[in-house]
Structure 1
Amino acid sequence: MAGQNASAGDEVGESRVEEVRRWLSYTADLLRGTTLPVQNYDPDKHDRLISFSGLPGYEETDRYWLNVPFSFVSINYDHEDDKHLYHVVEPKLDELEADLLDRLAEDIREPLLYREDVADDPEAALREELQDRLEEYGVDIELESYYRLFYYLHRRFHGYGQIDPIMHDPHVEDISCDGPNLPIFVYHDDYTDVETNVSFESQELSNFVIQLAQRSGRHVSVSDPVVSATLPDGSRIELALGEEVTPRGSAFTIRKYADEPFTPIDLLEYGTANLDMLAFLWLCIENNRSLLFAGGTAAGKTTSMNAVSMFIPPRAKVLTIEDTRELSLYHDNWLSSVTRERLDDDDITMYDLLRSALRHRPEYIIVGEVRGEEAITLFQAMNTGHTTFSTMHADSVQTVINRLENEPINVPRPMVQSLDVLCVQVLTRSQGERVRRMRTLAEIEGIDQRTGELDYSNTYSWRATEDTFTDSGSDLLDEIREERGWSQSELLKEIRNRKKFLKYLRDEGVNDYRRFTAMVNKYYADSAEVLDRIEDAGVEVEP
């Protein structure tokens, strides 16, 4: 036994000696002086910053860059548990690099705070401070080490910490953290809800929640532990601090903001709607019909509303009202407004903004979501000739009507009939994939004189079994035909022309919202020229 203890003691002693040697070597490096020729990293000339040989026991199904050349994701499938894993791969730091990173983070923080040029070019400011500190320390490092340090400093000061790589993923819609020491989950376009290899420790998570609130210009504390806000990039966040309302600890959910909003062409590509439905909505919007988009959480209500809003005529005055910024239009005459909440008596609510909006004399008013007293003002605007678009949480036409007519919204039934088109959208599964579909496009027809109930008809409906849309005819199109003085054949020709236009843009891959809006504006300005170009391209659609 004594021999065993002596042997163990020798091993510990040798370990300590080796540790001292490493630190002596590190100190010598610091004192040696440095010449740090910082140059652009070139993967063809320099060693790789990251390496990854796969996860044992998993089958890698996908791999793509998140932040070249610093991070990528490896998506793996576990056959035993029948689930996917979203594995973030970042540069690995050795012990000396990790120690150097901690020191750099402390020494660089304050100079960055006081630099006036940080906002203009944060990366350049960080590079200069990093190089200055390394020269000050006299440390001599390889170019690869420099860039690994730069990555983690940038992630800490200008990025989103541990979730920064995920924030770069265009395929991720939501990021959810349910508490400390729990894996973060993401909602991925292709793999739906997926567990990641990223997690936070308790204090680390609380600090991160506070940081997210500060970035959004909000305050979160134990006395006010729940905050809804918008990040500078437009992403929506829901924060919970401590264990007051979330017993497992601090938590957050980030609903990522798409850099490029969906266009009607994207709705076609994803099968959310078909050509007939989009041509119908285009005519309704051009002819000042009011729309309401309903659906459950993550059904794509706001996305679809934003997309079809690109059909608004180019010079019409548009005013948008939201509690968290989501809408993005490429429209010259557009005024965007956002609520301001939780500032004691100085709150500016959606109701306040909507009342103010009417004084701006807008032709189109787009409200992010109606859920309270602002709905009455919205319907009053409809009744006074304003064209309005909005969204609501509901899963059917009848549920929408019930919500509008009852607490807490309480819109009188005669006012509800001023709504023209109601779109109910769903997030569902079709042929083994999760999809978003416009399940119903309904027209509000008025109040039935016999029963006193609100009448509506389903103009378009989605058939889940065939994943197709059916057309039941439209009284609203007949109203538009009479207003425009068209014959039936002229109406059908106009619908066919717009379907050709949309098909042409889809065939040409025009899904950038700026290009799409520019083409729509050109159609409004000179439809004959646009249609001639489409004819030359040989585009045909079903009658």
Structure 2
Amino acid sequence: MKNLFRRENEEVEPYDPEVHGILSEFTGVEGYEEIERYWTSEPYVFIVILYNEDRNDHIYYVVEPSLSDFEQVFLTEIKDRLHNELLVEDIDETEDKEEVLEKEIREIIKDYAIEITPAMLEKVFYYIKRDFIKFGKIDPLMNDSSIEDVSGNGHSKPIFLYHRAYQNIATNIIFEEKELDSFIIQLAQKSGKHISVADPMVDATMPDGSRIQMTLGVSVTTHGSTFTIRKFSEDPITPVDLLKWGTFSPECMAYLWLCIENNKSLIYAGGTASGKTSSLNAVSLFIPEKAKIISLEDTRELKLPHPNWIPGMTRDSFTADDRGSVDMYDLLKAALRQRPEYLLVGEVRGKEALTLFQAMSTGHTTFSTMHADSVPSAIHRLENPPISVPRNMIQALDIMCIQAQTYSMGKRVRRNLKVVEIIDIDPNTRNVRTNDVFAWDSSTDTFNRTGDSKALMDIRMRRGWGAMDVNRELANRQRILEYMVDNDIEDFKQISGIINAYQSTPEKVLKELDLL
């Protein structure tokens, strides 16, 4: 009893790695050699990339704080106690969740007449915060900026991910069946959705903005519950990023800048994970700063710096008979009454496309994405059910960019294969006439200007410019983009600031950047 009272008044000193030792250790995996190691959450979690030459196999190995048998039992006990405490306690919503948990844990451990070291307490803090307010076992993956997708393909199977450097790679994270079902239900609740055996498939936006698709149980996926996360970048992708990655050439990006500023409508077409939405978000920075923008999406992905922007999102129904649902068509109808200058639609795939093309025909500038691997297949999809846009309306679209995930110099890359302009309908054959403006050469990984531009000719007529004026504008914009790439200007706000400043005072910007 004396020991218990003594510990009640004793505070555990703050953890210091230099004094109390490291929390996470890696001793290696037989048959694999370590080729890279980096922290994702120092001093708790680091990642080790392992490689087996004989099997040509990589492993993404997550190293978290190691727990002894006693520490494991103690952590389980604290978690159970914490669940009960939090259920009955009235907690202020404005308080920091991590601070609340730390305070509660410190109160609970006073009841135990055992010696608790700073390192042991820090491990308890880490695992409880990870499981209670973060993303549980996959939290290290969500903190790694080099990961694009995370895939859980069923229970008792390793989590796979798409890594920017190593592509598809297995991890050492595995869920058991009950653990995975519980995790999926928890993820759905954190994303503001409900998932059950009766309704086992859900699409949602996670608290950090990432997109997730989930299935529960074995009724629709025979290996058990699954989830696929398309990670959301806190810093939106910019035109400078696309140029650095080689997705576009500076000349092509300058062309898009001039076209977007002059109200040309645009569709990005490509396969899954070809970077359509990322490119759409990046080129949206070229929209004039004060223009009224309305974006419509199923899950929130677009992020713009414009102050005059309404982001719209679809909503699932609350009832079995679909009452209360708001689909893309409903959002688009409402958006057209809000007098937008620019309409951004996440993806066209149904009846909303007809309304979108009607909006284009009546003078609204629209940007969107769609799944198609070429211009003919995109037009074929647009013309046939369920989209069913009449051929005459397709000519309201100005530009189509074809994107793909492809290979160049032995590496997997995302490239804009073609920039194509829709010219008109041939009066004799009734075919849609198109004009390739830029094309990617796979053998040299370069972009070539392949033809004259109808869009630039329209801009000349509208602005009263001569050929020299258009060429000068394109050259100035290209130099500004190259300047930002060469000087490693990566800040989202700084890039949009330079773009907006050029639109209002071009001479001043060129002079400040010493480009005159």
TM-score by length of 2: 0.96
Q: Tell me if 1:500 matches 2:475.
A: no
| Cα distance in structure 2, aligned partners of 1:178 and 1:478 | 51
Matched with 2:347 is 369
Q: 1:269 to 1:321 in 2, by over 3 A?
A: same
Task: Say which SS state the counterpart of residue 51 (structure 1) adopts.
Answer: coil
Q: Tell me if 1:462 matches 2:440.
A: yes
Q: Deviation string for 1:436-481 (max 9, x for gaps)? A: 0000100000101110011111111111111111102312111111
Matched with 2:220 is 245
What aligned pairs does 1:431-510 form with structure 2 within 5 A after superposition?
A: 431-472=409-450, 473-510=452-489
**One-letter amino acid of the counterpart of residue 508, structure 2:** E
Q: Deviation string for 1:153-176 (max 9, x for gaps)? A: 001101111111111111111110
Matched with 1:190 is 165
Q: Show structure 2 runs of 5+ residues with no match.
A: none
What aligned pairs does 1:384-403 form with structure 2 within 5 A after superposition?
A: 384-403=362-381
| Cα distance in structure 2, aligned partners of 1:525 and 1:164 | 44
Task: Say which SS state the counterpart of residue 137 (structure 1) adopts.
Answer: coil
Matched with 2:254 is 279
Identity, % of aligned pairs?
47
Give the length in aligned residue pairs: 511
Q: Tell me if 1:124 matches 2:99.
A: yes
Deviation for aligned residue 1:336:
0.4
| Cα distance in structure 1, aligned partners of 2:16 and 2:97 | 21
Matched with 1:304 is 279
**Conserved in 1, the CA contact under 8 Å of 2:14 and 2:118?**
no
Matched with 1:143 is 118
Task: Say which SS state the counterpart of residue 184 (structure 1) adopts.
Answer: strand
Matched with 1:16 is none
Q: Deviation string for 1:415-451 (max 9, x for gaps)? A: 1100000001000111111100000100000101110
Matched with 2:393 is 415
Q: Tell me if 1:84 matches 2:58.
A: yes
Deviation for aligned residue 1:31:
7.8
Residue 65 of structure 1, aligned match among 34, 39, 48: 39
Matched with 1:527 is 506
Q: Deviation string for 1:27-79 (max 9, x for gaps)? A: 99868735543454332333111111322321211111111111011001111
Task: Say which SS state the counterpart of residue 44 (structure 1) adopts.
Answer: helix
| Cα distance in structure 2, aligned partners of 1:119 and 1:76 | 43
**Conserved in 1, the CA contact under 8 Å of 2:4 and 2:111?**
no
**Conserved in 1, the CA contact under 8 Å of 2:241 and 2:490?**
yes
**One-letter amino acid of the counterpart of residue 501, structure 1:** I
Deviation for aligned residue 1:93:
0.8
**One-letter amino acid of the counterpart of residue 323, structure 1:** D
Deviation for aligned residue 1:233:
1.0
| Cα distance in structure 1, aligned partners of 2:467 and 2:197 | 65
**Conserved in 2, the CA contact under 8 Å of 1:286 and 1:312?**
yes
**Conserved in 1, the CA contact under 8 Å of 2:317 and 2:326?**
no
| Cα distance in structure 2, aligned partners of 1:446 and 1:41 | 69
**One-letter amino acid of the counterpart of residue 52, structure 2:** D
| Cα distance in structure 2, aligned partners of 1:346 and 1:263 | 36
Task: Say which SS state the counterpart of residue 438 (structure 1) adopts.
Answer: strand
Task: Say which SS state the counterpart of residue 283 (structure 2) adopts.
Answer: helix
Q: Tell me if 1:333 matches 2:289.
A: no
Matched with 1:214 is 189
Moved more, 211-220 or 183-192: 211-220
TM-score by length of 1: 0.92
Q: 1:287 to 1:36 in 2, by over 3 A?
A: farther
Q: 1:442 to 1:29 in 2, by over 3 A?
A: farther
**Conserved in 2, the CA contact under 8 Å of 1:35 and 1:140?**
no
**Conserved in 2, the CA contact under 8 Å of 1:320 and 1:336?**
yes
Deviation for aligned residue 1:379:
0.5
Task: Say which SS state the counterpart of residue 276 (structure 1) adopts.
Answer: helix
**One-letter amino acid of the counterpart of residue 500, structure 2:** N
Q: Show structure 1 runs of 5+ residues with no match.
A: 1-26
| Cα distance in structure 2, aligned partners of 1:248 and 1:30 | 49
Residue 75 of structure 1, aligned match among 49, 74, 84: 49
Task: Say which SS state the counterpart of residue 344 (structure 2) adopts.
Answer: strand
**One-letter amino acid of the counterpart of residue 134, structure 1:** I
**Conserved in 2, the CA contact under 8 Å of 1:30 and 1:140?**
no
Deviating beyond 6 angstroms after TM superposition, the runs of 4 or more aligned structure 1 residues are 27-32
| Cα distance in structure 1, aligned partners of 2:14 and 2:378 | 57
| Cα distance in structure 2, aligned partners of 1:49 and 1:71 | 9
Rg: which structure is higher? Answer: 1
Task: Say which SS state the counterpart of residue 303 (structure 2) adopts.
Answer: coil
Deviation for aligned residue 1:138:
3.8
| Cα distance in structure 2, aligned partners of 1:34 and 1:506 | 59
Q: 1:365 to 1:28 in 2, by over 3 A?
A: farther
| Cα distance in structure 2, aligned partners of 1:332 and 1:209 | 36
Task: Say which SS state the counterpart of residue 136 (structure 1) adopts.
Answer: coil
Deviation for aligned residue 1:356:
0.2
Moved more, 435-444 or 45-54: 45-54
**One-letter amino acid of the counterpart of residue 57, structure 1:** G
| Cα distance in structure 1, aligned partners of 2:146 and 2:301 | 18
Task: Say which SS state the counterpart of residue 228 (structure 1) adopts.
Answer: strand
**Conserved in 2, the CA contact under 8 Å of 1:112 and 1:118?**
no
